[in-house]
Amino acid sequence: MLALVAPGQGAQTPGMLEPWIQDPAAKLLVQQWSHEIGLDLVRLGTTADAEEIKDTANAQPLIVAAGLLGARALNKENNLAFVAGHSVGEITAAALAGVINDLDAMKLVRARGIEMAKAAAIKPAGMAAVLGGDREVVLRAIADLGLVAANDNGAGQIVAAGDLDALSQLAPEGARVRALAVAGAFHTSYMEPAVAPLRALAASLEVQDPKCGVISNKDGAVIRNGREILDRIVAQISNPVRWDLCMTTLTENVSGALEVPPAGTLVGLLKRAAPIVETFALKAVADLALADEFALRHNQEVSN
């Protein structure tokens, strides 16, 4: 059984769309998306520097565009049993499952990036990765400082979010703390102002039930109702990401997980936390033939 997984913010790299838009049809598609959402994805994905694409309003649409392009280039005969995405990658996953079309995915992620950037500007806040240490000790230290475990990524990685002063005091025994270069406390109540505008946009989109199971960041549940999937994606903006639970669901249901571009982060987490699942990171156009072979090995007994 095969799953496609889609990474979240932080996975972006300069020039990451360049190899995927060498195909004229793919470049035309990206140009159309750019026109529709009012953002030059071609320039941002080819010549913009790391600082410019780190901006939330730029990073999120770029990541979804890269994921959609990578998946589009795979063999269309590949059958999917499940999809999952980390944070903004859930929008990529929803499009891959046919819940929304690609253009609506780009419209939704464009609005998400803008609204989250606006929410982040209201009150200074940040995020820090806590690496290693005893899980319960780490969670207690985060809570004691009034912070939120915004991303529980499994594999000994929890991302704390909230007040900057509190983050500077975070030092759980046996763990390393690394400040993240982000502009706000994503997946916490700090993002609540972004929810209503996204909920209104999502309500206007045409939604279909998915062609495969969609694993939710909320609780790792497999969701098969299209409207519920979109509702969960919107609510997740101000609620923690439980990628650890998503990995548990993958372990219980699939033999292989293929990460779409910009790939690498989720495969790394899966290798450490769920080694029973074979993984493949689709990082380059040159990887497509091997990616299709990988998919073929794992989709022989698909049951939707």
Catalytic residue among 34, 86, 87, 216: 87
What is the length of the chain? 304
C-alpha–C-alpha distance, residues 229 and 171, integer Å: 36
Evaluate whether 160 touches 142 at the Cβ level (below 8 Å).
yes
| Residue 239, CB-side half-sphere exposure with 13 Å CA sphere | 13
- 86 noted as active-site residue: no
C-alpha–C-alpha distance, residues 153 and 158, integer Å: 6
Residue 105 CA: distances (Å) to CA of 60, 202, 297, 299: 11, 10, 29, 26
C-alpha–C-alpha distance, residues 288 and 78, integer Å: 12
Catalytic residue among 187, 216, 238, 298: 187
- 255 noted as active-site residue: no
Cis peptide before 172 (omega within 30 of 0): no
Q: Tell me which residues are annotated as active site.
A: 87, 187
